[in-house]
Structure 1
Amino acid sequence: MPPLTLDGDSLGEKHRHLNKLVQEAIANEQYELPNISAENSDIDNLLKIKVAAKTRNVDYIIQVIKSNDMLYAATAIKKSTWLVTEAQYAHIINPEYLHTQLQPSMNTKTFNKLMLHIRLHLKDEKRVETFYEYLKDTASGYKWLQNCSIPFIENVIKNERLVPLDLFKRLCRRSAHFMKYYTRVEGESVYEVKRELLFLLKSHTLEILNILEDKGNEYYPDMGKKKTKIVMQICPERILAKFDRYIGAIDLSVATKYLNKNEIKSFLHQQAAYITCRLFDENILKLFINKMPEEERFEFVKKTFIDKTEMSLIFTEEEKTMIESSVNPYQWYEYAPFNVALPELEKLVRKESAPPERCAMLSVLIRCARRNPQHIKTLLKYYAEKHINEPIIFKLKFVNNLLSEVPTHDFDVDTWNVLDKLFHSMELYTETDNEQHNVQMCLQAILTYKLLHDEPIPDIIKEKIKLDSLDLKQKHLNEDQKNKVFSYLLKLRMEEIQILNTKDESDVHDYVVKLTNALILLKDWKKDINTYPYILEKIHDLVNIKQENSWSHLNFSNLYLTNKSWRRSMFKDSLSLCVSEDTCLNALKHDPQMLTRHDKEMDTLRSNDAVSLRRLLAKLRVFWPESLAQQWIDAYLLNLNKTTGHKATFKGLFTLLPQKEVVELAKKHVPLDFKINWGETDHTEIKIRKNIANYLYYTRPLIPLDTVLSYAKGDYLQYAVPSLNSISHNLSAIESGEYVSKLLDAPVSLQKHGIQLAFLKLNTDDLKSLFSNIWDRTKNSSIQAILFKNTYDKMCNVNNTTDETKLWELLRMFIDKLDKSDGNSVSQDIFKKLGNVRKVPVSVRADYYMRSYEYLTSLPASTNCEPYVKQLTQYAPIIMENLEDDFVAEKLLSLAEEKFLMVNSEFIEIFACYVLCGKSEEGQLKRFQRVINPAMEKAFQCWDNIHSNDYYVKDNFKEFLKQLVWHFLEYFTYNKMTVPARLFVEIKDIILNELPIVENYLLITSWKLVTEYVTLMDEHGFKCGVFDKTKLTDSGCFGNGWMSDEMADLWKDIHVKISPSFGPAALKCLREDVIQYSTSIHCIFADAFERTFQMLSFQNYYFLLETLEYMLDDECITSYLVVSRIMPKYVEDELKPKRSELRNKIRSHPSSVVKVHYHNDFWNFAED
């Protein structure tokens, strides 16, 4: 039976005929639906698939989806949306059936396409939730959330997982209810999330503003003009009341429009501190001044910024200095009436010797005069009289400033003559070369004026002006003026393209540039090219010349691409103007024979290795198999004998040829000798073999992997790798099993691909038995490295606890069997993986860490494993809570005394984490006595040891205490441990017994206060689990000794309850020290108190002020001296009332000693 052919010439006609055949087949009850076959044409098979889809033949569609031909499978999926959406097929479209029954028989690409189609079209919330639950642990599982029910999504985000930002935006678009979970976005800063949520600002203004303001110290994202307008229309009072927060986010040019004109002065006074901080934007003050009543502006500017008589009423001394250093005094005359500004600036100009400054001053006058023609004339006359001899560079700058502010074509004759005099002084009307100066704006002004006033345009102006840079300001012209200017410009362009010189290619190139400029002119002035057929004729003439001279390599694409809407008018010449896949596809839609008529252009396209033609070739193969497709196949076969274009040739051939013919072609060129000898062998044949091996994966349907393997040997293996990887990746699980065994029995170079294929396709149980056997029978280090690397990578990405455990068992077996004698037979790639614990799943991370550390530390120094051991050591504090006690004590911290006393010891943090991670207070004390206490005793014996002028033992011990406090805060915040009160007390007692307090007062006192704080936490009943971790984001995590704002907010609740007890406790300490050392101890006690808050990481002054409030005791003068000394001098506005209250108490104390100290501490700080 002859293959089915479609009537019609164009692509659209063929599609319509195919659709007609589908309808006829459906109407014909006798129509049989045989299986698709490689022996039939694509049209035959596509017809069957479409009929099956229309008639809902489920079994047929399933069989097609299982085929290796992506065209057929993709068509079946696309045309069978009913299979996805209708509930009656839920027994097929469910995750269990798809993954256990269909996936093993489907190639990877088809299965992924099917899953994507389901995800995009399945809207039944319950069914989608089933998919999510089944796939949630996979890398793309989160993508199914979007179509789940809103309560389900909320539960997942709130309790189960963070979501990527792009998904979060889509969820918020579906329901703004999800906005409140903006801290549950994965891998993005809160700032970035807030910025992306601004798209909801118009519909949910108040909710978005609440989110922006949620963390007061964060920067707000930029709103731009449109969003600023929204917030200022809906809630201007809110924005202005919190102007200090929003000033960096809103567009002030919009926001200032909503200010009351009569309240600008008071607003400037209130917000001066925040406005002056943004003086890097020189227009910021002007934005506010411009909104004042016009009659009041200059009076305000004069008194405030020029005479400065009222400047102190609005700005502080610091703010005045900032303004004066940012804005030149003469700039304020922009607001003066011209008759005031001119004489004042004239005085300043006379005193100024620097030409740039004089030019800047005179430019201010332009802004004063620009709205009054008479003032412009006066200014020009003044300039012509007084400054015509200025250096040309500054004269030109002044004139260009004028031209940018004022439409000079409207000047009267007198004004123009003065300006023209300046033009003459700049030698614009002479043969002088002005190229080094920017005179084009001046030349444009001359041309426009003379053209609109019907004056002759001097030839010298025509010569100097560059039409390609002509940027006439159309907005200043009326319609008649626009038409007049355009007609003149078009006439100039037409004169340029009048004569087409075809002597050589360079002439044609120059002509193309001129013709392109003509088209750009039409585009800029929004003209229709069909109104100017002369230009289209010139384009056609240019194409004819290109063809007559066989200059097919010349590029005319700029002509075709200038304006997309004009391409229809250039259709007949499109392939000559711009030969590309898109123009060829367009030709198929309207006149496919153009591809035959432009064979030279097609040959150039076919030989271009840098161009992809997959879409075009796919259309040719399906709809023109006997005509155009065959012509292109023949042309590609001829190209085989050429020296260039082989990549494009084989990509094209393998895309067009049926699988059977590709296999035959590949067999024909299989090398007999896989060693390439470039000196003796035919280079053309070598190139053919290389490209066959490289591009076999372009074939549709998938080429058998055996065909690729016939090339994957010797020197040709490197070229076959792309095909080998692509085809093996797409194999179904059933097919993969056959090839895995074949590849694993091959030479080492192919075994590596077999291992990768096995990891890709086989389940974990099969992998475990298979690779344990391979490891046992191979001594090849590269094979072992690949086995280890792939097992490690799969374990890190499997997202399934059961599989993670099985893969870890396999890895553990690998580690146990690694060479332990000298390690020289072990690949460095394995060492790298052993050192990289961070990526290992949490369920097996601790076991992996301990086994890796034990192995790496067992190897001799010659293996160069120190970097990986160091990497593990640095990671120990992060994983400490999951490490076994004996492992840490006997392996990681073996020789504890030696490690504790090392110079710049890297183990100090590990000591702190180890003792804190005891499961209870008894466990902490047990660990302390086992490891830490002996190390401390040794440290106290070596307390005064010096290395490089540093007391390194003291430094180590101080660092230990710092890390102890720091990790307590971290663990407690994340609900990982109880309050270590007994441990801290034990350390305090030992310090007091072992160290002389006179020499170590700061250290001992600060630790006593820290211990007091932790003990009070225990007494107040704070237990593990007090914090809500959902309030934390990635940006809210701890840094090295730094507590984020989010963490600080959580700890404020504790601190408020602790401070009423901690303040008096600190005061008691102070009293005891005063008795022992006298009142002069208060300075050092204040330092110890500040160090306490540093160790507790309470950087926010809220914590300090909260405690100081409870330390003042009228009967203890030294308490006032301590509070005065350590009270913060710079605080945020919300803390100023509390600080002011404390200052008032200290200042009002009757003791003259207190007053002296207070005034000494605050002599340079004004009252709040």
Structure 2
Amino acid sequence: MILTGKNLGERQRELNNKVNEAFSNKVDFEHVRYEPEHSDVDRLFKIDLASKYKNLDYILETIKCGDSLYVSRALKSSWLFEDEYSHIINVDYLHNELFPYMSFKMVRKLLTIVSMHVKDEKIIEFYNYCKKQRLTQNGYKFLVRTSESFRLQNVPDVNSLIDKQMLTYYIGDSFPIATYCFENTPESEHNDMLAQFSYLYAVSADKFLDMLEKFWSDDGFELNQKAIGLRISKDIMTKHKTRLYNLPLFYLRIVRRPVLLKFSTVQDAKFYLTVLLPDSITQFWRMHFYSKYKYIFELIPFEERLIEFEKIFKKKWPNEEFRLSPHFYQNRYFDLMRIDIKEAWSLQQIERGVELSGTENDFTLYRFVRFEKAFEELKKKIKVTKKLDTRAEMLIVLVKSAKTDRDIEKVLRYFYERHINEMLHVREMFVEAVMTEHNVYKFDLPCWEAYNQLLYNLRIYEPDYHSPKSDFKIMPLIYNIINRIEIPKNISRFLESGVYFNFFRVQVGSLTKEEFEMVYEYVLSYYLNRINDIETQPSNEELKPRIRTYVHYILDLLYHFNKTIHNIPEVLENYILADIQEFQNHHLLKNELRYTDKLTQGKLYKFLKQDVSVFLANLPRLEEIFGVQMLRIRVASVLSKLKIYFNHDIAKDVLSIYERNLCREAYYYTTANDIVYGILKLGDTDYVINFMEKFVPTETKIHFDQIDGNTLLTQQAICRFMCFTRPPLPLHYVHKYLRGDYVKFCLSIFNSYLAKLPRPACLEFVKSLIDKPVSVQKHGIRLAFQCLDVEDLKNIIVEVWTQNDNVSLRSVIYKNLYHKILKSDPDIRNALFDLLKNFTLTLRPTDDEDLISLGASDRLPYELKGEYIETLWNVVDNMPLTGTYITMREIVVKCMSKNVHLVRDAVLRDLTEKTIRNALSGLQFQEAKFVDDLTKAKWKFVAKYLTYFKNENDFNRKSAKVLNVLEDCIIRWRTVNTEVYVFRRLFEEFLNDIDVFSFENNLSSYKYMNEMYKRILDVIFKSLRIEEVYERIWFLKFSMVAKEAVMSVEPKIREFNIDLIDKCIENFSVGFAKLFKEMLDSKFYFKIVALAVTAPLELQIMNMLGDFQCWDEKKKVDTFVRIGYELTKVDDFDHYVFAMFLLPKDPDECTYIEIYKEVMKKLKDLNNKEMNIFMYRKYVEPNYTRHPFYSFNY
């Protein structure tokens, strides 16, 4: 069958018409079925006709054929999914009868189509099937169509099944499912999810807002533009405003600002400002409250803003200064004042001599004073000021104080008369300040002339003027244009060289619309005239390159003046189109198709749908692309359409272009890829085989100094793209390229064939790779793990493992076996685990050390992990103690430390005994024995094992072993090696490891640990001098108090719970105070080393908080504050001193502000000179800043 339509659409319709005609004429399909096929169109005709006749046998035969085009066409037979054919579209039939003959890609496609048609219980069957087969994306497509109750049961699988962007389809209108998703998703993702689920507001506004309030993650007071849209914001402000009053801080964060302002009253604004005030005055000044919430202030009439906010401020902090505080000026609250009030306030501050903006900077306040007074006062100050920078700042304040043209003129003439000889940077600063503070384009002529005098002084009109201050050159030009003053050449010449139109855009921002257009028209006309001047000159060849520059200037002008391509003058379009390569990437043009000359797949596809002649006319442009290095054109979909619908005509023309350009003179990597890909996609099987035969490598090794470069590029491209032929090439021809040095160019075909080949062909391909050299064989092994069943897989890899010494190949087998176990269901997992153990036991010293690291990565399922770790240890324990084998042992020992609860006790005890015996035997040892990484890892393992208790008997045995180790260290206490007390260090590190691991065990083991610590402390007190273990004793005591505090609140699991945290802090503080008194009474506490005690205290507090998944520094400081509170309950100076040591300098570091105040009050009320010295040095002296809760009264 030959199609003759003039474009793609016509040929597709032509095929459809022929099918409809045959169906209408009741053509016998069995006669058509066995007719020879000469093209894809012939086969598509049969498939479409079979579909019309509902010929099930032929459709199923086509689905099994393996060709993705034909399979996809057959799957369009929607009748196949009707109830009549339910015996076909069910899990068992598809799995046993169809899927074994289909490619993985087509299996997924079929399941996707099935998910659109099946109903009721079949959906669940297919979902469970996809879940079992680990087809997660397909499983999700079934899951979203199940009932709410079923989806709710399967929420735990959601994170592994779906893309977060598709979560809304899964949730639907179900709030219970949405809630469950939130509860099982990290808090950091909640805000994005809430934005994603905002459609639920239309289902139930109250339920959505409840969910919003519950799951919103606090990230500050700023509006979050992603949270909710304008419509929901408006609804909240008009229908649910009570919620805003109940949770103001929350809703002020999420309601869109324009909506908030539109529907808020003056009283609302006062309420907002009141609730937004922070807890402390220090935080208030630091956060720049006014600038942060200026938009709320603006809701209040200007005349009332300052008065009303001052009331709010005084109500919160009645004893704090507002207007007279230096922070008032620094935070620009003076912007709230009327001009007359601001002037009075400024004069008051100047009279008081308060330095609001730094030392000797009181002159800055004169900018708020009437110009006449400010001018006279500042002149006096300038006259006596010697510092250049200070004098310059005073001049700028003078500029700011000027209000009218006459004021400005007066300042300008004063500067010209008195300061024109200042340093250049001072003059530039002054000119820039005038430009910034005033609209220079509104100056009248006398004022402009005074300003222009300064510009002349800066020499901006001189030809050799160069300065980063481009604004200075632009100002005179704009002023003259908008005031219709004749523009001298020394100004207009600025347009000839290096114009920065972004500066133009900034400068014209203060102009009126009319003035804006005047500037635009003048500059545009200037450049168009210059272009015309060049064109009209008789001999203009040397000047023509200048036209390109002017075109660039005009495009820049249009872009920065917010014009579009429609504003491009017609005369300019000819220059642009004639030199498109030069201009096509300009900001103004790059997204406009008529100004881009790149041939793209989209354009070719458009030509093909438009008219064959248009497509043919543009084909020569393909050859132009082939001649440009690093330029590629992707035409996969166009080539597919050509091969199907145009194989008798246009496809041959395109193929001839590819042939003609093969190995051309300008032949690049990208050229070879495009040409070879096109040939392989368009050619039929015979043509492709002949083409490949011409370039078959004659040797497995590439001799770069001998082989032709173009030939090598072609061979590489064939290797890369031979998997894209349709139908697939016979394997014999594939293997001609899949060898030696060419294998690395063929890597793409392995995964491609795995996905695209029907299963029988895929198995044949994989098995063909197994018998090849190692460079190919390892890829076959990797694919075998993905497509072979368990028994076939075991037979293949066991044979290769036992008969092969290649390290790389054995590594591939082991790693893929390990990952196969991780990903498989329990049946396959258990079938392969014994094989993994056998492979592990037969690992050789020459095998890749990464295999041990992989095995010790702690990723195997719980039920297999213990046995596997024992196997690993048996292997590494018999390896020599040299080189990388030591590292392997260390890795496995660390893995055993993490999993002492899974490994058999006999194995753990044996390693423990050996480690202790080797260290504490009377044999000669070296310092290195105690510092190498393996030994450290073993001692950490010992500590971990001896702190893991199964029951009381286990505790007693392990506790005795800990005491034996410590006693043996004490016996050798004075032993020195290389000037180091090695057993003292072992003693300290061992105790430290025990404490670290004690906090990693079950919370129920804490009672055993505290009993062990009591026994350890008994040994220490009996055997050692206090001076040598003073800090360690405190460390153990604090650990016991921390564990007691955790046990007292009885947490079920380690999770964040603020109520339990606060209760635990309270109990810890009470326990600490009791311990402190005991140590003080027993004369064990010494003030001189008080600071040394705080380090172990801080560590144990963080260990305690870690039991509640809390690592917030503020909660640690809260604990210090609470301890201080408990200590100051005892009327004792040492208690008070230690409390003072613990209190933070800044109250904002904690949340227990009221407790902090109370402790500070007690410390001040003590009225002890020694305490006063301590407190003054801590709270005042470092920076001499006033403390909010402490002042030193004389």
Task: Give yes or no for TM over 0.5.
Answer: yes
CA drift at 1:914: 1.0
Q: Answer yes or no: is the 8 Å Cα contact 2:101–2:760 preserved in 1.
A: yes
Query: What is the aligned partner in structure 2 of residue 859 from structure 1?
Result: 879
Report the AA paired with residue 1004 of structure 1.
I
**In 1, Cα distance between equivalents of 2:344 and 2:77:** 76
Q: What aligned pairs does 1:457-496 form with structure 2 within 5 A after superposition?
A: 457-465=487-495, 466=497, 469-470=500-501, 471-472=504-505, 473-496=507-530
Q: Specify whether residues 365 and 126 from structure 1 end up closer, same or farther in structure 2 by C-alpha distance, changes over 3 A only.
A: farther
CA drift at 1:405: 5.1
Query: What is the aligned partner in structure 2 of residue 558 from structure 1?
Result: 585
Q: What aligned pairs does 1:977-1056 form with structure 2 within 5 A after superposition?
A: 980-997=1009-1026, 999-1008=1028-1037, 1010-1011=1039-1040, 1014=1043, 1022=1050, 1026-1029=1051-1054, 1032=1055, 1046=1056, 1050-1056=1060-1066
Deviates more, 1:620-629 or 1:494-503: 494-503
CA drift at 1:177: 6.7
Q: Deviation string for 1:869-921 (max 9, x for gaps)? A: 33334444433332332222213662315458964544443233212222223
Q: Answer yes or no: is the 8 Å Cα contact 1:555–1:578 preserved in 2.
A: no
Q: Specify whether residues 1051 and 1000 from structure 1 end up closer, same or farther in structure 2 by C-alpha distance, changes over 3 A only.
A: same
In structure 2, the residue corresponding to 1:647 is in which secondary structure? Answer: helix
**In 1, Cα distance between equivalents of 2:1016 and 2:1164:** 39
**In 1, Cα distance between equivalents of 2:347 and 2:174:** 54
User: Are residues 1:816 and 2:841 paired?
Assistant: yes
Query: What is the aligned partner in structure 2 of residue 4 from structure 1?
Result: 3
**In 2, Cα distance between equivalents of 1:54 and 1:385:** 99
Report the AA paired with residue 1020 of structure 2.
I
CA drift at 1:755: 0.4
Q: Specify whether residues 210 and 295 from structure 1 end up closer, same or farther in structure 2 by C-alpha distance, changes over 3 A only.
A: farther
Q: Specify whether residues 333 and 849 from structure 1 end up closer, same or farther in structure 2 by C-alpha distance, changes over 3 A only.
A: farther
Q: Specify whether residues 817 and 393 from structure 1 end up closer, same or farther in structure 2 by C-alpha distance, changes over 3 A only.
A: same
Q: What aligned pairs does 1:740-759 form with structure 2 within 5 A after superposition?
A: 740-759=766-785
CA drift at 1:860: 1.8
Report the AA paired with residue 1078 of structure 2.
C
For these two proteins, the number of residue pairs brought into alignment is 1084
Q: Answer yes or no: is the 8 Å Cα contact 1:693–1:720 preserved in 2.
A: yes
Query: What is the aligned partner in structure 2 of residue 1134 from structure 1?
Result: 1151
Report the AA paired with residue 1015 of structure 2.
E
Query: What is the aligned partner in structure 1 of residue 963 from structure 2?
Result: 933
Q: Answer yes or no: is the 8 Å Cα contact 1:795–1:807 preserved in 2.
A: yes
User: Are residues 1:290 and 2:342 paired?
Assistant: no
User: Are residues 1:429 and 2:429 paired?
Assistant: no
CA drift at 1:696: 0.8
Q: Answer yes or no: is the 8 Å Cα contact 2:223–2:255 preserved in 1.
A: no
Deviates more, 1:383-392 or 1:678-687: 678-687
Report the AA paired with residue 911 of structure 1.
V
CA drift at 1:423: 2.6
Query: What is the aligned partner in structure 2 of residue 1069 from structure 1?
Result: 1078
User: Are residues 1:107 and 2:103 paired?
Assistant: yes
Please report the RMSD computed on the Cα atoms of aligned residues, expressed in angstroms.
5.0
**In 1, Cα distance between equivalents of 2:71 and 2:709:** 39
**In 1, Cα distance between equivalents of 2:177 and 2:985:** 49
Q: State, as a whole percentage, how many aligned pairs show the same letter.
A: 20
**In 2, Cα distance between equivalents of 1:159 and 1:991:** 53
Report the AA paired with residue 2 of structure 2.
P
- Among 397, 406, 411, the residue aligned to 2:443: 411
Q: What aligned pairs does 1:748-787 form with structure 2 within 5 A after superposition?
A: 748-787=774-813
CA drift at 1:417: 1.9
**In 2, Cα distance between equivalents of 1:637 and 1:734:** 34
Q: Answer yes or no: is the 8 Å Cα contact 2:815–2:851 preserved in 1.
A: yes
Q: Specify whether residues 120 and 1008 from structure 1 end up closer, same or farther in structure 2 by C-alpha distance, changes over 3 A only.
A: farther
Deviates more, 1:933-942 or 1:43-52: 43-52
Q: Answer yes or no: is the 8 Å Cα contact 2:274–2:312 preserved in 1.
A: no
- Among 472, 476, 482, the residue aligned to 1:442: 472
Q: Specify whether residues 752 and 1137 from structure 1 end up closer, same or farther in structure 2 by C-alpha distance, changes over 3 A only.
A: same
User: Are residues 1:800 and 2:828 paired?
Assistant: no
**In 1, Cα distance between equivalents of 2:911 and 2:315:** 64
Q: Specify whether residues 379 and 662 from structure 1 end up closer, same or farther in structure 2 by C-alpha distance, changes over 3 A only.
A: farther
Query: What is the aligned partner in structure 1 of residue 324 from structure 2?
Result: none
User: Are residues 1:924 and 2:985 paired?
Assistant: no
CA drift at 1:743: 1.7
Q: Deviation string for 1:605-646 (max 9, x for gaps)? A: 245554132244344444543443322210111122424132
- Among 1157, 1162, 1175, the residue aligned to 1:1162: 1175
Report the AA paired with residue 584 of structure 2.
S
In structure 2, the residue corresponding to 1:826 is in which secondary structure? Answer: coil
Query: What is the aligned partner in structure 1 of residue 246 from structure 2?
Result: none
Deviates more, 1:745-754 or 1:122-131: 122-131
User: Are residues 1:637 and 2:659 paired?
Assistant: yes
User: Are residues 1:578 and 2:598 paired?
Assistant: yes
Query: What is the aligned partner in structure 2 of residue 316 from structure 1?
Result: none
Q: Deviation string for 1:321-340 (max 9, x for gaps)? A: xx649x96555555555445
**In 2, Cα distance between equivalents of 1:361 and 1:81:** 84
**In 2, Cα distance between equivalents of 1:35 and 1:335:** 96
CA drift at 1:941: 1.1
**In 2, Cα distance between equivalents of 1:696 and 1:243:** 69
Q: What aligned pairs does 1:51-450 form with structure 2 within 5 A after superposition?
A: 68-73=66-71, 102-113=98-109, 127=123, 131=127, 134-135=130-131, 138=134, 140=136, 166=164, 170=168, 190-191=187-188, 194=191, 211=215, 223=224, 230=256, 237=271, 241-244=275-278, 252-254=293-295, 256-257=297-298, 260-265=305-310, 285-286=330-331, 288-293=333-338, 295-300=340-345, 324=358, 333-339=366-372, 341-347=374-380, 349-350=382-383, 358-369=391-402, 372-404=404-436, 406-431=438-463, 433-435=464-466, 437-450=467-480
Q: Answer yes or no: is the 8 Å Cα contact 1:733–1:762 preserved in 2.
A: no
In structure 2, the residue corresponding to 1:881 is in which secondary structure? Answer: coil
Query: What is the aligned partner in structure 2 of residue 526 from structure 1?
Result: 563
CA drift at 1:1129: 5.2
Q: Specify whether residues 716 and 1009 from structure 1 end up closer, same or farther in structure 2 by C-alpha distance, changes over 3 A only.
A: closer
**In 2, Cα distance between equivalents of 1:26 and 1:288:** 85
Q: Answer yes or no: is the 8 Å Cα contact 1:893–1:899 preserved in 2.
A: no
**In 1, Cα distance between equivalents of 2:399 and 2:1130:** 68
In structure 1, the residue corresponding to 2:420 is in which secondary structure? Answer: coil
In structure 2, the residue corresponding to 1:971 is in which secondary structure? Answer: coil
Q: Specify whether residues 972 and 460 from structure 1 end up closer, same or farther in structure 2 by C-alpha distance, changes over 3 A only.
A: same
In structure 2, the residue corresponding to 1:919 is in which secondary structure? Answer: coil
CA drift at 1:758: 0.1
**In 2, Cα distance between equivalents of 1:161 and 1:838:** 22
**In 2, Cα distance between equivalents of 1:121 and 1:377:** 82
Q: Specify whether residues 1002 and 342 from structure 1 end up closer, same or farther in structure 2 by C-alpha distance, changes over 3 A only.
A: same
Query: What is the aligned partner in structure 2 of residue 548 from structure 1?
Result: none
Q: Answer yes or no: is the 8 Å Cα contact 1:490–1:518 preserved in 2.
A: yes
- Among 1118, 1122, 1126, the residue aligned to 1:1102: 1118
Query: What is the aligned partner in structure 1 of residue 725 from structure 2?
Result: 699
**In 1, Cα distance between equivalents of 2:1069 and 2:361:** 51
Query: What is the aligned partner in structure 2 of residue 1039 from structure 1?
Result: none
CA drift at 1:243: 4.7
Query: What is the aligned partner in structure 2 of residue 547 from structure 1?
Result: none
Q: Specify whether residues 355 and 612 from structure 1 end up closer, same or farther in structure 2 by C-alpha distance, changes over 3 A only.
A: farther
Deviates more, 1:622-631 or 1:53-62: 53-62
CA drift at 1:964: 3.0
Query: What is the aligned partner in structure 1 of residue 683 from structure 2?
Result: 657
Q: Answer yes or no: is the 8 Å Cα contact 1:377–1:415 preserved in 2.
A: yes
Report the AA paired with residue 655 of structure 2.
I
- Among 621, 629, 633, the residue aligned to 1:601: 621
User: Are residues 1:454 and 2:484 paired?
Assistant: yes
In structure 1, the residue corresponding to 2:460 is in which secondary structure? Answer: coil
Q: Specify whether residues 996 and 206 from structure 1 end up closer, same or farther in structure 2 by C-alpha distance, changes over 3 A only.
A: same
**In 2, Cα distance between equivalents of 1:163 and 1:283:** 56
- Among 725, 736, 740, the residue aligned to 2:762: 736
Query: What is the aligned partner in structure 1 of residue 870 from structure 2?
Result: 850
User: Are residues 1:708 and 2:737 paired?
Assistant: no
